[in-house]
């Protein structure tokens, strides 16, 4: 059975890049355009890993992570942050919210796939 990954990013280009890289690695991919949409998609799907951006309209990645962690059903779901941010304070805030890992854009598709497989194991 193939792993399902939920990706959340407001950039269409980034969503397309993620779709290409992850489908190429054999993953099923569901996508959302911001944190609020991400919570809606999460309620309708059953991903094994989430990848989220931080800076998005309506609900940012921090709010999304906190929302996921409030859900009993998704409390243990691995969440990787994929962002242009490299500020240690933001990284710490994401970790405190419940993020599993942090990857800075631009990303290496091979390293991203490796990280997904590692946290999904």
Q: What is the CATH number of the domain that holds 90?
A: 3.40.50.2300
Q: Using one digit for the tens of pLDDT, what is the confidence trace for 70-114?
A: 999 998 999 999 988 888 999 999 999 999 999 998 889 999 999
Label residues 46-56 b or e (16+ Cβ within 10 Å = b): ebbbbbbbbeb
Phi, psi for 80 (deg, rounded to 5): -100, 130
Tokens matching residue 18: 């993620």
With cut-offs at 50, 70 and 90, classify the pLDDT of residue 1.
Answer: low
With cut-offs at 50, 70 and 90, classify the pLDDT of residue 45.
Answer: very high
Q: Using one digit for the tens of pLDDT, what is the confidence trace for 26-41?
A: 999 999 999 999 999 9
CA 22/CA 100 separation, integer angstroms: 18
**Percent of the chain scored above 70 by pLDDT?**
99
Q: What pTM, to 2 d.p., does this model score?
A: 0.95
First-residue to last-residue Cα distance in the chain: 14
Domain that holds residue 54: 4-120
With cut-offs at 50, 70 and 90, classify the pLDDT of residue 2.
Answer: confident
Residue whose token pair is 């921090």: 62
Query: Based on the structure, what is the number of domains in the chain?
Result: 1
């Amino acid at each position: 059975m193939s792993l399902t990954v939920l990706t959340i990013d407001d950039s269409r280009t980034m969503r397309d890049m993620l779709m290409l890289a992850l489908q190429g690695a054999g993953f099923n991919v569901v996508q959302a355009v911001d944190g609020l949409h991400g919570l809606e998609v999460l309620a309708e799907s059953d991903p094994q890993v989430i990848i989220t951006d931080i800076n998005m309209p309506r609900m940012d990645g921090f709010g999304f992570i906190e929302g996921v962690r409030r859900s009993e059903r998704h409390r243990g779901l691995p969440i990787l942050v994929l962002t242009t941010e490299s500020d240690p304070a933001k990284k710490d805030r994401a970790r405190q919210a419940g993020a599993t890992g942090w990857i800075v854009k631009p990303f290496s598709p091979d390293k991203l796939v490796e990280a997904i497989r590692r946290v999904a194991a």
